[in-house]
Amino acid sequence: MNMLSSIYWRRLLIPFIVLAVSVAMACGSGDDEPDTQTPSGQSPTATPSDSGSPSSPASTGGTLKIASVGSVQSFDPLWTTASSTGNVSNTILEPLMAQKRDFTHGMVLADSWSISSDGLTWTWKIREGVKFHDGTPLTTKEVVGTLRKQHDRANMWKVLVAEFGFEDFDQMVGIVDDHTFEIRLREPTGLVIDALSNQGFQQQIVTEAWYSLPATESAPGEPIGTGPYKFESWTPGDRWVAVRYDDYSPSPEPSDDLTGKKTAYFDRVEWIEIADQTTRVAALETGEVDWAQEFAQDLLGRVSGNADLKTIPQSPFRLLGHFNHVREPWNDPEWGVKLRQAVVMAYDNEAALQLATGDPARWRLCPSLLQCGTVWESGRGSDGLYAANNIEAAREIVMSSPYAGMTLRVMDPQDRQPAHGAAQITRQVLEDIGFKVDFQPMDWATMVTRRADPDLWEFFHTWSGIGVRAAPSGHLRFGELTYDAWFNNYQDVPGRQRDLFNQIARESDQGRLIELNHQMQEYFYEDAIFLQVGEFFSNWASNVRVLGDLDSPGAGQDPFNKWFAE
């Protein structure tokens, strides 16, 4: 990197360094506990685990069997952000940049970058010798093709285009040679790195057969990537399988969460669909699977009481509820905001979190968009709205509107406990304040498909990971906060969100970023962008013989850099 590049890089790191320090303080023991406590004294970034793994395996090989949640409806991460698709893409595909354990960014397929003296041209080099699983060499043709497809879709890239780049893709991005490309800007910014790293619809590099399709279409066929495992087979409704890619070219950087060197120690990985949570844990107990994703709190005792099993650390998730901003009643120019606020002020957050987890030690209230217990925590604008349980005032608003008695479609994914639990409370609250509810039970895969069509729903629940809560730049990559967002279609009618994004994207002073975060927080509640329920920890577990990098905030749920004990 040249000197200017180094300056931009340091400025970009400021919020993340502050976050890392604040989280480390919150994790300390003794009397200096943060004002906002985590469940049962847990840190805000991970749950306790007895996984203590050696730094390298004594042996390799074997088949890792994972009891996964959610049926796979698409293998294409450029089309959907569904977690079941993420299991596939994070194993098989790779991006240019990704998240480190401290929430800064590191290289994966990128090799280096430099910035012109005026700060307007970033020249990127990708690693040589990388091959796709079909033997095709990785070149900038595939990189630029993927970036083109995501030009109007990847969250941070959209911010970069709108505030600093060009709507005309060819004016903004160009190929120099097979391993070099340029990103050209109207105005200097360090957010280029964020725009190539973790975000909704991250640009995980694919072959021409996929990037040549419209971004609104789910690509057919099997995924072909450059990752440590390659796709082998899929039996719909049962499982999909990946095997070690022997020609994998790992990054020369040290392994650090989603970045650096990745190693496929297993010969084979099978993701087995087990929708019922009890059956999922039973399969783990009997050895039918080695790893179980997501199960209810009342099953945790069966894991903790079994010497052959252990819990897997998970960063806290944020449970959310989404309004469809392009459908009545939420989009009404006069009543939309009032009715969205009515739902927020009436909501029983504690009841929803309790149903989502089953244990008060596994959740906490948190009105802040950014991580509670850190320097970025803010409650501005939440008074009288967050966890207010004010049914009477909310009902008065609904009954005075032209939408009293309107039927709202609420999707209930019964195989995903956090969303399923919250949906029960949502149904009750909506009926209590004067709406009728068409309650629609379904599995997660069906809901993921239906939420992509704004004509099919009015409300549903999902959750977000810690990456979008790490610092103010997380606001920019949080898809549901962005203008004309996928899937809640947020419209930002007053234009305040876009103004705040503009300022956050250009600011490097920590004090000013804290104030802008407060302003974003205030506007979030003022416009009732979505329902923020609270924070929870998800239960994951494995056999004790599964070792390796299990506690990373991002890569802990991926099969690379993990192995079986000898």
Give Cβ neighbours of residue 543 (< 8 Å, ≥ 6 apart).
284, 287, 290, 291, 308, 309, 310
Q: Please report the sign of the dihedral spanned by the C-alpha atoms of residue 186, residue 188, residue 193, residue 195.
A: negative
Residue 334 CB-half CA count within 13 A = 6
User: Highest mean pLDDT range out of 116-125, 268-277, 501-510?
Assistant: 116-125
Do 390 and 270 sit in the same domain of this protein? no
Tokens of 443: 């599995």
Is 35 inside any structural domain?
Answer: no
Is 149 inside any structural domain?
Answer: yes
User: What number is the average pLDDT over the span 503-527?
Assistant: 93
Q: Please report the sign of the dihedral spanned by the C-alpha atoms of residue 113, residue 15, residue 467, residue 529.
A: negative
The fraction of the chain above a pLDDT of 90, given in percent, is: 61
Sheet architecture: strand order including 539-543 = 229-235, 239-244, 268-273, 63-68, 291-295, 539-543, 309-311
Question: CA 95, CA 203: separation in Å to the nearest integer?
Answer: 6
> How many domains would you assign to the chain?
3
Q: Looking at residue 485, what is its pLDDT?
A: 74
Is 333 inside any structural domain?
Answer: yes
Q: Looking at residue 58, what is its pLDDT?
A: 60
Instruction: Show which of 145, 176, 211 is a domain's final residue.
Output: 211
Do 437 and 484 sit in the same domain of this protein? yes
Do 363 and 406 sit in the same domain of this protein? yes
Tokens of 215: 């971004």
Is 506 inside any structural domain?
Answer: yes
Question: CA 459, CA 261: separation in Å to the nearest integer?
Answer: 41
Do 457 and 385 sit in the same domain of this protein? yes
Mean pLDDT for all residues in the chain: 86
Q: Looking at residue 448, what is its pLDDT?
A: 86
3-state helix, strand, coil in the chain (%, to 5): 35, 20, 45
User: What number is the average pLDDT over the span 508-525?
Assistant: 94
- In this structure, what CATH number is given to the domain that contains residue 173? 3.90.76.10
Do 118 and 259 sit in the same domain of this protein? no
Instruction: Show which of 177, 211, 245 is a domain's final residue.
Output: 211
Strand, coil or helix: what is 430? helix
Helices and strands (DSSP H and E) totals, the chain: 17, 21
Is 220 inside any structural domain?
Answer: no
Q: Looking at residue 405, what is its pLDDT?
A: 98
**Chain CA centroid to CA 356, Å:** 18
pLDDT tens, position by position, 259-284? 999 999 999 999 999 988 899 999 99
Do 288 and 324 sit in the same domain of this protein? no
Does residue 501 have a pLDDT over 80? yes
Pair 425, 355: CB distance under 8 Å: yes
The residue assigned the tokens 């959740």 is 363
Question: CA 112, CA 126: separation in Å to the nearest integer?
Answer: 7
Spatial CA neighbour of 535 closest among 347, 344, 356: 356
pLDDT tens, position by position, 133-190? 999 999 999 999 999 998 888 888 988 998 899 999 999 999 999 999 999 999 999 8
Tokens of 399: 């009954």
Pair 410, 324: CB distance under 8 Å: no
Give Cβ neighbours of residue 275 (< 8 Å, ≥ 6 apart).
69, 71, 415, 443
Do 558 and 412 sit in the same domain of this protein? no
Tell me which H or E stretch contains 174: strand 173-177
- In this structure, what CATH number is given to the domain that contains residue 279? 3.40.190.10
User: What number is the average pLDDT over the span 404-417?
Assistant: 94
Q: Looking at residue 38, what is its pLDDT?
A: 30
Pair 539, 311: CB distance under 8 Å: yes
Does residue 1 have a pLDDT over 50? no
The fraction of the chain above a pLDDT of 70, given in percent, is: 90
Pair 525, 381: CB distance under 8 Å: yes
- In terms of pLDDT, which residue wins out, 25 or 350? 350
pLDDT tens, position by position, 126-139? 999 999 999 999 99
Q: Please report the sign of the dihedral spanned by the C-alpha atoms of residue 81, residue 362, residue 526, residue 399.
A: positive
Q: Whole domain around residue 194: which residue ranges? A: 3-27+70-211
Number of neighbouring beta carbons within 10 Å of residue 138? 23
Pair 100, 256: CB distance under 8 Å: yes
Q: Looking at residue 24, what is its pLDDT?
A: 30
Is 45 inside any structural domain?
Answer: no
Distances (CA, A) of 273 to 66, 112, 145, 277, 448: 9, 39, 33, 11, 16
- In terms of pLDDT, which residue wins out, 458 or 80? 458
pLDDT tens, position by position, 19-48? 333 333 223 223 332 222 233 333 333 333
- In terms of pLDDT, which residue wins out, 77 or 27? 77
Do 528 and 545 sit in the same domain of this protein? no
pLDDT tens, position by position, 296-346? 778 888 998 999 999 887 778 999 999 999 999 999 999 999 999 999 999
Tokens of 566: 């000898």
Instruction: Show which of 211, 243, 275 is a domain's final residue.
Output: 211
pLDDT band at 293 (very low <50, low <70, confident <90, very high): confident
Do 245 and 381 sit in the same domain of this protein? no
User: Highest mean pLDDT range out of 97-111, 433-447, 477-491?
Assistant: 433-447
Q: What pTM does this model have?
A: 0.75
Q: Are strands 268-273 and 63-68 parallel, antiparallel or unpaired?
A: parallel
- In this structure, what CATH number is given to the domain that contains residue 451? 3.10.105.10
Q: Looking at residue 29, what is its pLDDT?
A: 27
252-282 in b/e form (b: 16+ CB < 10 A) is eeebbbbbbebbbbbebbbbbbbbebeebbb
Q: Looking at residue 506, what is its pLDDT?
A: 86
Pair 418, 295: CB distance under 8 Å: no
Do 239 and 328 sit in the same domain of this protein? no
Do 147 and 248 sit in the same domain of this protein? no
Q: Are strands 121-126 and 105-107 parallel, antiparallel or unpaired?
A: unpaired
pLDDT tens, position by position, 242-253? 999 999 999 999
Question: CA 164, CA 186: separation in Å to the nearest integer?
Answer: 5
Is 381 inside any structural domain?
Answer: yes
**Chain CA centroid to CA 115, Å:** 29
The burial class, CB within 10 Å (0-12 / 13-18 / 19+), for 424 is middle
Number of neighbouring beta carbons within 10 Å of residue 435? 24
Do 307 and 398 sit in the same domain of this protein? no
Least confident among 55-64, 166-175, 435-444:
55-64
User: What number is the average pLDDT over the span 438-453?
Assistant: 92
Q: Looking at residue 34, what is its pLDDT?
A: 26
Tokens of 458: 């009015």
Strand, coil or helix: what is 146? helix
